[in-house]
Amino acid sequence: MKRLAFLAVLVLAASAVYAFPGFEPVYFPAEVKAVEADLGAKSVGELKVTELIPMAERLNVAWQKDQYVAKNTMLSMLWPGAGQFVTENWAEGVVQTGLHVGITVGSLVWANAVLPADLRLGTMDYLGTSMTSIHNSWGAHSLQDFFPTIGALAVGAVADFAVRGWSAWDARKQSQDYVNAGKVTFEPKIDWEHFGFGMGMKF
pLDDT of residue 202: 45
Low-confidence ranges of the chain (pLDDT < 70): 1-22, 43-44, 191-203
DSSP character at residue 118 = G
Query: What pLDDT sits at residue 20?
Result: 55
Phi and psi torsions of 121, nearest 5°: -60, 135
Q: What is the pLDDT of residue 39?
A: 80
Name the DSSP letter for residue 87. T
How far is the C-alpha of 164 from the C-alpha of 81, rounded, in Å?
A: 9
Residue 184 confidence (pLDDT): 94
pLDDT at 48: 78
Query: What ranges in 19-146 are assigned the alpha helix state H?
Result: 27-39, 49-78, 82-86, 90-113, 131-139
Predicted confidence at residue 200, as pLDDT, reads 44
Cα separation of 20 and 78, whole Å?
15
Q: Determine the 3-state secondary structure of 124 from DSSP.
A: strand
- pLDDT at position 90 is 96
pLDDT reported for residue 7: 57
